[in-house]
A = this chain, B = another copy of it.
């Protein structure tokens, strides 16, 4: 059991009918239910809460932070971004989903523009496992299909992943590195592309299974505390 916080900007579900139709209680509700059913302890935080719901005590209790963000890229407070990064450096896992590639948080952790090509036209996506030995691929078929989704295409302006787990094929002719692992400080990061606010991608069992695996993988206990400041030391010898 992992202690998970799901963060959702929770905007479009309350302001756009076609989003509300798919996620009437918010994207976080579907993700929460999926992760609780798989045995995790889940709490939710949203943009409009004080400190976006990410107080120090919430972060301290969080093993893995799952992140949905789409419209609010400029509205997330820089101080909270810094606080979350520091917690990641201390070992908290981080699982940014889909459009969160363009969050301040992910861009800050990557050090690159994190841009990509996209197209919203309900295409079929086939997600391929390219690293079957990775724990996030555990129990996942060689490929799985998302019947209708938004396309994301290369080039995806990120650093070379530590390990690339999934690559997507799209009906319209594009490919995308859909499952990318990084570590920053003691924290493990898994960017996962699938997802959308008007296609019910997060109701797909295999997509939920991958997020479950990512939560387990990124929550792995690790060792020493990493320093986040320079430190003057005496000779060792």
Instruction: Kindly supply a per-residue 1/0 record for chain A positions 176-191, scoring 1 wherever the CB is within 8 Å of any chain B CB and 0 otherwise.
Output: 0100001111110000
Query: Please, how many residues of chain A have a CB less than 8 angstroms from a CB on the other chain?
Result: 78
In contact, B175 and A232 (Cβ under 8 angstroms): no
In contact, B159 and A224 (Cβ under 8 angstroms): no
The CA-CA distance from A89 to B159 in the complex, in Å, is 11
Q: Which of A158-213 contact B (CB under 8 A)?
A: 159-160, 162-164, 167-175, 177, 182-187
Secondary structure type dominating chain A contacts: loop
In contact, A222 and B133 (Cβ under 8 angstroms): yes
| In the complex, A18 has a CB within 8 A of chain B | no
For A187, list chain B residues within 8 Å (CB): 133
In contact, B231 and A132 (Cβ under 8 angstroms): no
In contact, A157 and B226 (Cβ under 8 angstroms): yes
Instruction: Kindly supply a per-residue 1/0 record for chain A positions 201-237, scoring 1 wherever the CB is within 8 Å of any chain B CB and 0 otherwise.
Output: 0000000000000000000111111111111111111
Q: Which of A61-110 contact B (CB under 8 A)?
A: 89, 91, 102, 108-110
| In the complex, A138 has a CB within 8 A of chain B | yes
In contact, B137 and A224 (Cβ under 8 angstroms): yes
In contact, B159 and A182 (Cβ under 8 angstroms): yes
| In the complex, A117 has a CB within 8 A of chain B | yes
In contact, A154 and B172 (Cβ under 8 angstroms): no
9-residue interface stretch from A4-12, A29-37, A46-54, A139-147: A139-147
In contact, A224 and B140 (Cβ under 8 angstroms): yes
Q: Which residue of B lies closest to A135 (CB)?
A: B222
**The one of B108, B138, B141, B223 that contacts A132, using a Cβ cutoff of 8 Å:** B223
- Asked, given contacts A132-B225, A163-B160, A223-B138, whether A233 binds B115 with beta carbons under 8 Å apart, the answer is no
